Amino acid sequence: MSGLAAVTTILNVTTTYSATTPNSQIYKQLDLFGDVLERVRSDYVEQPDDAKLIETAINGMLSGLDPHSAYLNAKHFQDMQVQTRGEFGGLGIEVTMEKGVVKVVAPIDDTPAANAGILANDLITHLDNKSIVGLTLTEAVGRMRGPVNTEITLTVVRDGVEDPLDIKIKRAVIRINAVKSRAEADGEIGYIKVTTFNEKTHANLVKAVQKLEKEHAGKLKGYIVDLRNNPGGLLDQAVAVSDDFLDKGAIVLTKGRNLQETQRSQARVGDITGGKKVAVLINGGSASASEIVAGALQDHDRATIIGTRSFGKGSVQTIIPLGGHGALRLTTARYYTPSGRSIQAKGIDPDIIVEQETPEEIKKREERAPRGEANLRGHLTPEGGEEEEKSGSSTFVPKETDKDQQLLYAIAWLLDKPTDIKAVRREDAEKAAKEAEGEKAGGDAK
């Protein structure tokens, strides 16, 4: 690595050799780092662990870039590989880091965390009564994992609840069943819930459609693809799932600083549904790979997107193995929908907006702690600037199907049946927003 860096420096240095060139400045900063490191090693009150010092320094550098870049030591790298294969030991929660504590994006259905009552937007402050302040997200996740059938106590701060909650959870083998399916409306609608994008998502989706087609042959009129609270996952799986519903055209474009990071994925002939109507459900918990699928099907008019604005994570992370030293998870590109839209910190706006009726306590919590990429500290700003930021929305989905207004509306829409569920078309919402903004501007001028 040092040899490669030296070659690169030589190639980029101009004949001026100014003391103020970027290369000389970075070496001055590295000298400063070396001075601090040696002072810590020689004078700190206790003998520090050299490897831990370097690992912490690397993590600090990466966490200062954006919320999604991180260093994975050998153990955490192995854990990540296991997780993308769809099976790992742990609690069953998707998390992110916010203000020094772990924030729950969503508990995974039918896992110890979900069964114990962990909720989206919960803030985890302690693990077994030990504060997680100062830990990276990767380190905190590593501590939550452990041998099956062992217990861990999570201290949770929840909006609307005065005192922190201590929730004891027994670890289990978490098998991520990426795709769940069932028939709705007496077999006329195929419902497919995609919970994550791991290595098995595309294959499981194909199997689910084949099973529904076989069991309800000649009766199925359309499909609902539920991406609500799906935090994303593997880019190639998002491309494959999009391709399952498309016969041609672009799926996603990724653009990075380097030419090799700029790629376009194209659909191949073959729609596994045979061209049936498709509705895609999204909400504030639909992120990353979920947004790639929703954006591709929306831009090609292959599906109608129903629900509320998505999370707004429009960046791609590349896993770069570092030999026996783990791996680097680095944000290397932004992605764009087929029409060229970047959804970074903006999200996907549904074609038909259907707000879920939310319990008052959850509504208050989400108002106090709005979610979305735009609310994460250090996030990449949209290309149009911060004024375009608007990502995120409610993540609440009722467990009872008869109370799930977004699902019920999608069924009615696919069957062309009337419904009294309140819905607003995107163009009408945008028009109303512009009119309200104009009225405000006029009032300010007066």
Q: Is 163 a catalytic residue?
A: no
The matching CATH number, chosen from 3.40.1410.10, 2.30.42.10, 3.30.390.30, 3.30.460.10, for 87-175 is: 2.30.42.10
CATH 3.90.226.10 for the 179-433 domain, yes or no = yes
Every domain range in the chain assigned CATH 3.90.226.10: 179-433
pLDDT of residue 247: 96
In this structure, what token pair is assigned to residue 333? 């590109």
- Residue 126, pLDDT > 60, answer yes
Terminal Cα-to-Cα distance of the chain (whole angstroms): 63
Tens of pLDDT, residue by residue over 374-400, are 888 889 998 877 777 888 899 999 989
Catalytic residue among 66, 243, 299, 349: 299
Domain with CATH 2.30.42.10 in the chain: 87-175
Buried b (16+ CB within 10 A) or exposed e, 85-99: ebebbbbbbbbbbbe
Residue range 214-252, pLDDT digits in tens: 999 989 999 999 999 999 999 999 999 999 999 999 999
Sign of the dihedral defined by the CA atoms of residues 234, 239, 242, 244, in that order: negative
CA dihedral sign of residues 424, 430, 434, 440: positive
How high is the pLDDT of residue 441?
60
**What does the angle CA 229 – CA 85 – CA 122 come to, to the nearest 5 degrees?**
30
Q: What is the pLDDT of residues 393-420, one digit of tens each?
A: 999 999 899 999 999 999 999 999 999 9
Would you call 288 a catalytic residue per the annotation?
yes
Residue type, 182: R
**Which of 69, 242, 288, 394 is an active site residue?**
288
Residues 47 and 50: their CA atoms lie apart, in Å, by 9
* Better-predicted residue by pLDDT, 95 or 277: 277
- Distances in whole angstroms, Cα of residue 339 to Cα of each of 192, 240, 250: 26, 18, 9
Q: What are 324-373's pLDDT values in tens digits?
A: 889 999 999 999 999 999 999 999 999 999 999 988 888 887 777 777 99
pLDDT digits (tens, 9 = 90+) for 49-67: 999 999 999 999 998 999 9
8 Å CB contact between 181 and 211: yes
- Catalytic one among 103, 313, 342, 404? 313
pLDDT, residue 174, reads: 82
pLDDT at position 10 over 50: no
DSSP string covering 287-354: -THHHHHHHHHHHTTSSEEEES------EEEEEEE-GGG-EEEEEEEEEE-TTS-B-TTT-PPPSEE-
Count CB neighbours of 51 within 10 A: 10
